Chain A
Amino acid sequence: MLGRTMTRALEFETRQFNFMDVDLGEGIPRTMMIMGGGLLAIWITVLWALFGPPTQVTLLVYFTIPSVIVFYAFQEDPARPRRKRIAGWVHRVRYALRGHRPFVSRTLSKHRDDILPMSYRFGITQAVAALRGRGEVGVWDTSSQDAPHPYTACTPFRVRMKARIISSKEKGHA
Chain B
Amino acid sequence: MLKTLTKTLGVSKALNAATPAYKIIADGLIVSQDRAQAWYEIPISSTQLAADEEIDDQLLRAIATARLALADYDCQLRVLWSLTDSDEYTDTAEQCTQASARAWAEARGQAIEEWALPKRHVLLGVDIENRATPLVVRSINSATSWVGGDTGSIPAAEREYLMRKAAALGSRLKNSVFNATPASVETLAWMIGREMHRSIRATPKAGTITGAALAMLASGRAVPWRDHIRFYAETGNEVAYAAVMAITDFPEEIDSNDGGWLLALSNIARPDLSDEAYSVTVLPEASIRFRINSRPSAISAIDKARKSAKEQRQEASRGHAEEAGQDIELSEAELTALLAEIKRGNADLVTSYPLLVLTEESMSELDASVDALIGHYAGMGITVERLADQQMEAWLSTLPCDLARITDYYQVQDAPAFFGSLFWTGSAVGESDGHVIGYTTGATKTLVRYHPTEHPLKGDSATSVVLGRSGRGKTTALQLFALDAAAEGAWVPVVDYKGDLNNAHGGLVSAAHSVGISASRVDLGDAYAGTCDLFALMDTEDAIIHAHSQLMLLISEQRRKAAHPILMDALTRRVRNGQARSTAAIINDLQHHEDAEARAVGDELAAFAHDSLARLIVGQATGEATLENTRGISLIQVPKMDLPDAQVPYDQWTLTNRVSLAVARGILAWITTTARNSALRHMRKLVVVPEAHLFTANGESANFLVRISRMGRAYNVHLLLDTQDPASVAKYEGITEQITTLFAFSLNTPEQQDATAQLLGLTPSAYTRDAIRNVSVAPDGSVWHGHCLMRDAQGRVATIQIAIPNTSIAQALSTTPDRATREDK
A residues sitting closer than 8 Å to B (CB atoms) are 1-10, 12, 14-15, 17-18, 23-27, 30-31, 34-35, 74, 80-84, 86-88, 90-92, 94-95, 98-108, 114-116, 139-142, 144, 147, 149, 151-153, 155
Contact A81 B412 (CB under 8 A): no
Question: B825 at the A/B interface (Cβ < 8 Å)?
Answer: no
B766 neighbours in A (Cβ, 8 Å): none
Knowing A17-B316, A94-B11 touch, does A102 contact B223 (C-beta < 8 A)? yes
From B19, B55, B417, A106 is in contact (CB under 8 Å) with: B19
A27 neighbours in B (Cβ, 8 Å): 315-316, 321, 324
Give the interface size bracket for B toward A. Answer: 35 or more
From A3, A31, A90, B418 is in contact (CB under 8 Å) with: A3
Contact A141 B225 (CB under 8 A): yes
28 intermolecular pairs with C-beta atoms under 8 Å apart:
A2-B416, A3-B413, A3-B415, A4-B414, A4-B416, A7-B412, A8-B249, A9-B334, A15-B325, A23-B319, A25-B319, A27-B315, A88-B388, A90-B11, A91-B389, A92-B388, A95-B390, A98-B16, A99-B392, A102-B222, A103-B396, A106-B19, A108-B392, A115-B223, A141-B226, A142-B363, A142-B367, A153-B235
A115 neighbours in B (Cβ, 8 Å): 223
- In the bound complex, CA of A10 to CA of B1 (Å): 15
Contact A99 B19 (CB under 8 A): no
A104 neighbours in B (Cβ, 8 Å): 220-222
Q: How far is the CB of A137 from chain B (nearest CB, A)?
A: 11
Knowing A10-B305, A83-B408, A152-B236 touch, does A1 contact B56 (C-beta < 8 A)? yes
Contact A106 B236 (CB under 8 A): no
Smallest CB-CB separation from A141: which chain B residue? Answer: B226
Contact B385 A3 (CB under 8 A): no
Smallest CB-CB separation from A25: which chain B residue? Answer: B320
From A2, A87, A155, B8 is in contact (CB under 8 Å) with: A87
Contact A103 B19 (CB under 8 A): yes
Encode B385-416 as 1/0 by CB contact (under 8 A) with A.
11011111101100000000000111111111
- In the bound complex, CA of A99 to CA of B318 (Å): 46
- In the bound complex, CA of A23 to CA of B21 (Å): 54
Smallest CB-CB separation from A29: which chain B residue? Answer: B8
- In the bound complex, CA of A43 to CA of B338 (Å): 44
Contact B385 A25 (CB under 8 A): no
A80 neighbours in B (Cβ, 8 Å): 385, 388
Contact B319 A17 (CB under 8 A): yes
Question: B206 at the A/B interface (Cβ < 8 Å)?
Answer: no
Q: How far is the CB of B496 from chain A (nearest CB, A)?
A: 50
B residues sitting closer than 8 Å to A (CB atoms) are 1, 4-5, 8-11, 15-16, 19, 21-22, 55-56, 59-60, 215, 218-227, 232, 235-238, 248-257, 301-302, 305, 308-309, 311-312, 315-316, 318-321, 324-325, 327-328, 330-331, 334-335, 338, 349, 363-364, 367, 383, 385-386, 388-393, 395-396, 408-420
Contact A17 B4 (CB under 8 A): no
- Extra A-B contacts (4), CB below 8 Å, given A91-B390, A103-B224, A104-B221: A9-B305, A108-B392, A140-B227, A152-B237
From A1, A7, A105, B250 is in contact (CB under 8 Å) with: A7
Knowing A87-B8, A95-B226 touch, does A3 contact B253 (C-beta < 8 A)? yes
Contact A81 B249 (CB under 8 A): yes
Contact B389 A18 (CB under 8 A): no
Contact B19 A107 (CB under 8 A): yes
B416 neighbours in A (Cβ, 8 Å): 1-4
Contact A3 B254 (CB under 8 A): yes
Contact A5 B252 (CB under 8 A): yes
Contact B312 A15 (CB under 8 A): yes
Contact A3 B9 (CB under 8 A): no
- In the bound complex, CA of A1 to CA of B349 (Å): 16
Knowing A5-B417, A31-B5, A84-B8 touch, does A153 contact B227 (C-beta < 8 A)? no
Choose among A17, A81, A116, A155 the residue with the greatest number of B CB atoms under 10 Å from its CB.
A17
From A26, A90, A105, B219 is in contact (CB under 8 Å) with: A105
Contact B392 A106 (CB under 8 A): no
Contact A82 B249 (CB under 8 A): yes
A105 neighbours in B (Cβ, 8 Å): 219-221
Q: How far is the CB of A24 from chain B (nearest CB, A)?
A: 7
Knowing A5-B251, A80-B385, A141-B225 touch, does A87 contact B321 (C-beta < 8 A)? no
Contact B248 A81 (CB under 8 A): yes
Choose among A2, A10, A26, A87 the residue with the greatest number of B CB atoms under 10 Å from its CB.
A10
- In the bound complex, CA of A59 to CA of B752 (Å): 85
- In the bound complex, CA of A121 to CA of B722 (Å): 67
Contact B19 A26 (CB under 8 A): no
From A1, A31, A100, A108, B420 is in contact (CB under 8 Å) with: A1
Q: How far is the CB of B223 from chain A (nearest CB, A)?
A: 4
A155 neighbours in B (Cβ, 8 Å): 236
Contact B315 A17 (CB under 8 A): yes
Q: How far is the CB of B424 from chain A (nearest CB, A)?
A: 15
- In the bound complex, CA of A89 to CA of B389 (Å): 10
Smallest CB-CB separation from A88: which chain B residue? Answer: B388
Q: How far is the CB of B52 from chain A (nearest CB, A)?
A: 8
Smallest CB-CB separation from B367: which chain A residue? Answer: A142
From B8, B237, B252, B255, A153 is in contact (CB under 8 Å) with: B237
- In the bound complex, CA of A163 to CA of B403 (Å): 49
From B218, B232, B252, B393, A4 is in contact (CB under 8 Å) with: B252
Contact B327 A5 (CB under 8 A): no
In order of increasing CB-CB distance, the 5 nearest A-B pairs are A3-B417, A3-B416, A87-B10, A95-B389, A151-B236
Knowing A1-B59, A27-B316 touch, does A12 contact B331 (C-beta < 8 A)? yes
- In the bound complex, CA of A140 to CA of B420 (Å): 33
Contact A87 B390 (CB under 8 A): no
Contact B414 A99 (CB under 8 A): no
- In the bound complex, CA of A98 to CA of B325 (Å): 39
Smallest CB-CB separation from B232: which chain A residue? Answer: A151
Contact A149 B238 (CB under 8 A): yes
Contact A100 B253 (CB under 8 A): no
Q: How far is the CB of A86 from chain B (nearest CB, A)?
A: 6
B325 neighbours in A (Cβ, 8 Å): 15
- In the bound complex, CA of A24 to CA of B224 (Å): 44
- In the bound complex, CA of A9 to CA of B412 (Å): 9
- In the bound complex, CA of A31 to CA of B218 (Å): 41
Smallest CB-CB separation from A32: which chain B residue? Answer: B8
Q: How far is the CB of B367 from chain A (nearest CB, A)?
A: 5
Contact B320 A23 (CB under 8 A): yes
Knowing A102-B223, A103-B221 touch, does A18 contact B318 (C-beta < 8 A)? yes
- In the bound complex, CA of A116 to CA of B367 (Å): 21
Q: How far is the CB of B335 from chain A (nearest CB, A)?
A: 6
